[in-house]
Structure 1
Amino acid sequence: MRDLLYLLRYLRSYRMALVIGLIVMALAGALVPEALSRTKAVFDGIFPDSAVTAAIPSPRTEWPEPAPPLEGLTASQMQARLLEAALVLFAFMVAAAIFDGLSVWFAEYLGQHLLYELRKSLFEHLQALSMSFYDRRRLGELISRVNNDTMVLQRNSGKGLAWLVSEPVAVMYGVYRMVAISPRLTLSMVIIVPVVIVVTLFLGRRVRKLSRQMQEQLGEMTNALHEGLAAIRIIKIFGIQREMNQHFERENREVMRTEVRTALTRAINSPVVGITIGLSLIAILMLGGQEIQAGRMTGGDLMAFVLLLQAVSSSVNRVSRVNLSLQQASAAAGRHRELLEVDERLPVVANPVEPDGIEGRITFEHVSFSYLGRSPALRDISLEIRPGEVVAFAGPSGAGKTTIANLIPRLYDPTEGRVLVDGIDVREMDPQKLRRFMSIVPQETLLFGGTVGENIAYGRSDATREEIEAAAKAANAHDFIMALPQGYETQVGERGTQLSGGQRQRIAIARAVVRNPRIMILDEATSSLDNESENEIRRALDTVLEGRTAIIIAHRLSTIQDADRIIVLEAGRIVESGRHEELLARRGLYARLYRAHQSSDERAAALEGTASANA
């Protein structure tokens, strides 16, 4: 229940609707027993012989104040009193139906707004978490928590949420009315209460356990689905469809089995409660007959009592079902709360520095860093990059090049040492404000669903059409964009699948340029492109990088020959630094890497020429 109460914070903005809704739901629950209690007058009018020793209560007075005895009424007076009682009963039934409909509407309104606020809070929270959090979590699991767990809460909103208030009120008010009719008969029902409570609590705990297990299995299945679709190209190339199908089938089967066990547990609830209440009904009819013979009840009393018992029984059954639904919802809410309570955001100082602009000077002071406690990716790095300088980082895979790029915009904090921008420790700056002055072009270009123009504008949401086109021209992308069917309004497809690799990369560069950054980071931006696309990107970068501090992470060393400085990393340490010609002359690691890449490029060119000749 604590997990469900946790969700109430998301209804703070809807306090008035919540208060009105609770009142309406309570009235919806109370009006049905009140209406059924009014049937006593109707039944006593229909069966007057059973009421000769008692009095029919007037619907306009508080029961059981006596009305004139039946033997003193004429037939027309009895019909008039019966009609009056029937009209009052009808009015209460109409009111009960109206308030029941209103209670469902308020429940849907509050439930949907709760889900809206919860999904919004979850997404914003996930966006704020550090990269270290994502290094340890699988994307499929997170998607499942946002989608599948929220769907469980959604299934239990609406009518179920209305029942959460109206049905307990209906039980309590119904019992109150039953006590008013016959305390002796009501007392005889006490035996069924412990049975219903024990059954409900036992099944509720089991449903909660199964529901949490099911949500975790849904996370595994969603992760398998995500991997099977995200890597479909690799799956087809390596012919591992069968293995992926078997993996998904295993996760899918586990979800199905847990769902069936949960359904069985829920199915047991209704017959157990129903049988218990059915036995009590038989006892009530037998005892009620004795009460009528003893003159302590009328036939109308017994009929009204039985109807109230049926209504209370239905409400008890709904309460037990709502409890099972609440256990499912509680398990989902608990998983939501666990995620929302994860506090792995980068710490921000109380009064962070918020510069209006930067020159672009970057300094590393004895920086070391390791991912998740593993062996260090960087070891005692000290260097300074001047404003406007183009600095390239080279080295074998795993040398720490990308880690350098991640520390500058403070995607991670160093394990030791400091990273400074314009002499200010980046930990003393608000990360969002710091990143306003930076842009990055990653190796794996990701375009968002939408148009070409919208993807470029993601770099700066307030960019005008002229600024978008200027950025595209600087990235050498304007001409091919204008050749597309709708130009800048062309849909790029999911992840930009409608465009070639080179086109996607140039749009990514335009997205970085439109931001007008002082620091540009290029993380192996041309490593996956062919030679023609690489040359187009290089021509674009000659324009883009002018006057900006540029960090280039190089895979193809041919792309960094014109850099102002090349820093060579090995095993997380700086082993060489200088211009291209200087490093070749030293015959060190850079020279060996360069010769290896040059030989690889020559072989690739020879193969390409052979293929062209054969064609």
Structure 2
Amino acid sequence: MPEKPIPPRPDRSTVRVLLRLWPYVRPVRGRLFTAAVVAIVASCLSLVIPIVLKWLVDGPVADRDPGGVWLGALYLLLLGVAEAALFGLRRWLVARPLSSVEAGMRAELYGRLQRLPIAFHDRWASGQLLSRGTTDLMLVRMFLAFPLTFLLVNAVTILAGYVLLLSQDWTLGLVLLTPVIPLTIISNLFERRYGVVARRAQDQVGDLTTVVEESVLGIRIVKGFGRHRSQAKAFHELSGRLRGTELAKARLIAVIWAVITTLPELAIGAALVLGTVQVADGNLSAGTLVAFLSTALALRWPVESIGFLLAMTKEAATATERYFEVMDTDEETDTAGGTPGPRRTDGVRFEGVTFRYPDAPEGTPPVLDGIDLHIRPGETLALVGGTGSGKTTLTALVPRLHEATAGRILLDGEDIALMEREKLRSLVSVAFEEPTLFSASVGENVLMGAEGAGDPELRRALGVAQADGFVDRLPEGTATQVGEQGLSLSGGQRQRLALARAVVGRPRFLVLDDPLSALDVHTEARVEAALREVLQETTALVVAHRPSTVMLADRVALLSRGRIAAVGTHQELLRSSAEYAWLMSGEGDGNR
């Protein structure tokens, strides 16, 4: 089951969450600091304009000096051009480094996903992971590009502006300071409520992404069973839920915007009335009033932008928290052990191996319970069992796709729990019942099974899997692109390419999970004939559902209810085990 969205943690402050971005920002801190300084200078230039206006009104305008008026206009023009140029410079300074920050975080997320255990991927919906690598990182980049800088720029601008206001007339300045306390309280309340809604929206984006991805990948099922209406209904329900959440966000932003806009406007209106009275009484010059009001109006944008800057900051904090939910998950680790002894030839041993899924409910029996099994060097052992007996789970333990709960597995006498995974997976090659191909060429898909292998190994592997015939008939042979998940090929063709991938590197240990299930009888016979030669060179564990596959093996192990019920040759088990005879008769369910 996909993992449920993780609820936001109220004890984590926005600042503390965003500080986790520092390791990614540190390499570009010089450019960001320079951009912030440039933006502060540009913003403060707007505060110089009221000073020029005061000089213009009290000087050239009062003295009826046209030359002075034109000079003042020139000063204002130059200040405007300088401000625009500095803001343009700021954007240029941050564009490239922040793109590299986003790319670096995305690369680290992808790398972490590759290293996380299979159990993690079993729990998490792919759409949730995709949204963290796309939408969430875009929100982080936008925060670093705009709110991070302008929260600082606006704070400096507002502070400098109020100092200027108080220096021009302290009584009017105090009037404009009155909204500060209520705005602070309201902004704090807004941040808390908006954080909850923003988290819900981003989780819903992940759910919606999952539905779209599943519908696209399963389009044949959707169309084959005529389920497009039910899929569309599910999509519209999630889409409607997301729309409602986005509207809730919009309402919160509308409220905070209205409050942040209204309170300063009321204060400016009160200051205008009081200032006009003072000018009429001769206690204030007209130029000072103009400069005061111009300064107050210049501060409108820094004050009014607080609402959406806080909203973007909270969304970025939520995105950061979601990103680190994945990054904080423990990777697959290689247990530190003693120095391995000298290599000996002993095949594969399962000693008291027990396995229970980590998220299994309390009290449920283990999937595998005390497995003891020895596959001799160079031997092929067929694993047979009914549905739910644990065959596929057992095969997944050999390359450590899952970790055994108890017991140990030895390869040639070496405990796999003490091996580095890279070494282990260079020794063990796997072909799964459900073949997975990537959006790459046929050759690239097969050669994924052996680093450094070339065309001779590729041709040999295709021959073993009896895939060379259909591959040569493809438009570009082994260079043909197979498309997403190889859906341009038939099920049998995909399975043969997956088998070729497993044998291309001549592995020391081979694990095959019913690798011939999608083949017709004639192709299966040819593949089995070629596979016999490969199996003579390796130690193999083969999950078998049909007698023809069992005949590839030297011995057979019967797995029943998570335990090894019998081990022997095919003929011996037919005589001694009623369950095995029933499974091989075709009356039993040979699926997993």
With the length of structure 1 as denominator, give the TM-score of the two structures: 0.86
Paired residues for 1:160-179 under 5 Å: 160-179=147-166
Identify which range, 370-379 or 37-46, moves more after superposition: 37-46
Counterpart of 1:583 in structure 2 is 573
Q: Which runs of 5+ in 2 are unaligned?
A: 1-13
Count of paired positions: 572
CA drift of 1:88 comes to 4.1
CA drift of 1:446 comes to 0.7
With over 3 angstroms needed to count, the CA separation of the structure-2 counterparts of 1:561 and 1:380, relative to structure 1, is same
With over 3 angstroms needed to count, the CA separation of the structure-2 counterparts of 1:276 and 1:598, relative to structure 1, is closer
1:43 aligns with 2:43: no
Counterpart of 1:434 in structure 2 is 424
Give per-residue Cα distances to partners, 1:579-611, cap 9 Å, x unaligned: 2222223353322222236999xxxxxxxxxxx
CA drift of 1:10 comes to 1.5
CA drift of 1:357 comes to 8.7
Paired residues for 1:351-362 under 5 Å: 361-362=347-348
Distance across 1 between alignment mates of 2:134 and 2:341: 39
Distance across 2 between alignment mates of 1:516 and 1:15: 50
Letter in 2 for 1:326: T
RMSD: 2.7
Paired residues for 1:306-325 under 5 Å: 306-325=293-312
Counterpart of 1:608 in structure 2 is none
1:18 aligns with 2:32: yes
Identify which range, 315-324 or 525-534, moves more after superposition: 525-534
**Contact 1:368–1:380 (Cα < 8 Å) also in 2:** yes
2:390 aligns with one of 389, 394, 400: 400
Letter in 1 for 2:383: F
CA drift of 1:82 comes to 5.0
1:484 aligns with 2:512: no
CA drift of 1:149 comes to 2.8
1:455 aligns with 2:445: yes
**Contact 1:392–1:560 (Cα < 8 Å) also in 2:** yes
**Contact 1:32–1:170 (Cα < 8 Å) also in 2:** no
Counterpart of 2:333 in structure 1 is 347
With over 3 angstroms needed to count, the CA separation of the structure-2 counterparts of 1:501 and 1:19, relative to structure 1, is same
CA drift of 1:115 comes to 2.3
Partner SS state of residue 357, structure 2: coil
Counterpart of 2:209 in structure 1 is 222
1:568 aligns with 2:558: yes
CA drift of 1:394 comes to 0.7
**Contact 1:111–1:161 (Cα < 8 Å) also in 2:** no
With over 3 angstroms needed to count, the CA separation of the structure-2 counterparts of 1:598 and 1:15, relative to structure 1, is closer
CA drift of 1:440 comes to 0.8
Identify which range, 155-164 or 352-361, moves more after superposition: 352-361
Partner SS state of residue 305, structure 2: helix
Identify which range, 377-386 or 334-343, moves more after superposition: 334-343
Identify which range, 418-427 or 158-167, moves more after superposition: 158-167
Counterpart of 2:354 in structure 1 is 368
**Contact 1:47–1:300 (Cα < 8 Å) also in 2:** no
1:206 aligns with one of 193, 197, 205: 193
Counterpart of 2:9 in structure 1 is none
Counterpart of 1:538 in structure 2 is 528
Between structure 1 and structure 2, the one with the greater Rg is 1
Partner SS state of residue 91, structure 2: helix
Letter in 2 for 1:305: F
CA drift of 1:156 comes to 4.4
CA drift of 1:85 comes to 4.5
Identify which range, 225-234 or 250-259, moves more after superposition: 225-234
Distance across 1 between alignment mates of 2:52 and 2:273: 23
1:496 aligns with 2:486: yes
1:92 aligns with 2:79: yes
With the length of structure 2 as denominator, give the TM-score of the two structures: 0.89
Distance across 2 between alignment mates of 1:598 and 1:281: 85
Letter in 2 for 1:250: E
With over 3 angstroms needed to count, the CA separation of the structure-2 counterparts of 1:35 and 1:459, relative to structure 1, is farther
Distance across 1 between alignment mates of 2:482 and 2:260: 58
**Contact 1:451–1:489 (Cα < 8 Å) also in 2:** yes
Letter in 2 for 1:586: S
**Contact 2:198–2:315 (Cα < 8 Å) also in 1:** yes
**Contact 2:386–2:588 (Cα < 8 Å) also in 1:** no
CA drift of 1:328 comes to 1.9
1:467 aligns with one of 447, 452, 457: 457
Distance across 2 between alignment mates of 1:127 and 1:355: 30
CA drift of 1:148 comes to 3.5
Paired residues for 1:48-197 under 5 Å: 48=62, 82=69, 85-154=72-141, 156=143, 158-197=145-184
CA drift of 1:107 comes to 3.8
1:554 aligns with 2:541: no
Identify which range, 585-594 or 362-371, moves more after superposition: 585-594
Letter in 1 for 2:523: S
**Contact 1:476–1:539 (Cα < 8 Å) also in 2:** no
Partner SS state of residue 364, structure 1: strand
With over 3 angstroms needed to count, the CA separation of the structure-2 counterparts of 1:431 and 1:48, relative to structure 1, is same
Counterpart of 2:6 in structure 1 is none
Distance across 1 between alignment mates of 2:84 and 2:131: 38
Partner SS state of residue 222, structure 1: helix
With over 3 angstroms needed to count, the CA separation of the structure-2 counterparts of 1:102 and 1:546, relative to structure 1, is farther
With over 3 angstroms needed to count, the CA separation of the structure-2 counterparts of 1:360 and 1:218, relative to structure 1, is farther
Letter in 2 for 1:475: A
**Contact 1:439–1:520 (Cα < 8 Å) also in 2:** yes
Counterpart of 1:382 in structure 2 is 372
